[in-house]
Homo-oligomer: A and B are copies of this chain.
């Protein structure tokens, strides 16, 4: 029942210095002291699209719902402040499910200093839907946007790509600390997180920056999962196809001026590797090149929600 769950939540949610009023009223109240500009983002996850509730621990689903929002904040190089969660629960077992979702969110919230501020609990005759909204603060460097890449900028990425469906799409580490560190220490022109797929998100970034991008094939860091998935499937896809096309790696894709990129690559200031995989060019579109070969058009092959 809704009331019992809210009573549980009020017991279970830790307080936070920023949270002036938590769950149990009509809205949460948060201190915005010191915040000039805030960022606001929401992601809604549905059963059988973003996760398979039949096969996965609900705690990992709850964690993912917060983590995808944290990844959006990482893409803006913003600092997380607070989150609210809204759920539509199946009636059967919904109470236990709601508690497990929170049990998955809370450790990640603590790790990233997110004040969990309550939300909205619903039940219905449908599958689980979970929507998390995250509020963050823009740092003194301003928001990292998609639209600032310039021709000549290097394409830098964190981590490796492909095959996230084998596990990373649930258990990935949002690159919040990495984005804040890089944006504080280096000059970044633009950024995006790889949620829909490396090729698709790079194309988004290039388009917003009104330029194009060339990927140097052999420089793309392939994750072990990309090769594993290519071996499992019999559709002729390669590890490289998966690295470029698979969604939900949640790594950072950055546009960095050449000299700054050299410095970043030499210093490797993160625990996760930073790699240069190509550059931005004046001609619009997405391109690939192998070795010293001519560049060829590359069709983005990532995720898009389809509806008519």
Residues of A participating in the B interface, judged by any CB pair closer than 8 Å: 1-3, 20-21, 24-33, 35-44, 46, 48-49, 72-73, 75-76, 78, 82, 84-95, 98, 117, 119-127, 129, 131, 133-136, 138, 143, 145-147, 192-193, 208, 304-308
Contacts and interface: CB of A to CB of B under 8 A. Distances in A.
A37 B29 contact: yes
24 contacts: A3-B304, A25-B143, A25-B147, A25-B208, A27-B41, A27-B72, A27-B136, A29-B76, A30-B39, A31-B37, A40-B135, A41-B84, A41-B120, A42-B86, A42-B120, A44-B87, A44-B131, A46-B88, A48-B124, A89-B305, A91-B307, A91-B308, A92-B308, A122-B305
Nearest to A121: B305
Contact of A124 (B46, B123, B193): B46
B49 A20 contact: no
Nearest to A74: B26
Contacts of A305: 1-2, 89, 121-123
A44 B123 contact: no
A120 B130 CA distance: 12
A102 to B, nearest CB: 15
Nearest to A191: B26
Given A124-B48, A305-B123, A39 B27 contact: yes
A27 B76 contact: yes
A82 B274 CA distance: 36
A134 B208 CA distance: 27
Contact of A306 (B1, B27, B117, B131): B1
Nearest to A69: B27
A86 B130 CA distance: 10
B39 A28 contact: yes
Contacts of A121: 305
Residue picked from A35, A42, A73, most chain B C-beta under 10 Å: A42
A120 B69 CA distance: 11
A134 B86 CA distance: 12
B26 A76 contact: yes
Given A30-B38, A94-B307, A123-B305, 6 more contacts: A26-B75, A27-B78, A38-B135, A40-B133, A44-B120, A86-B133
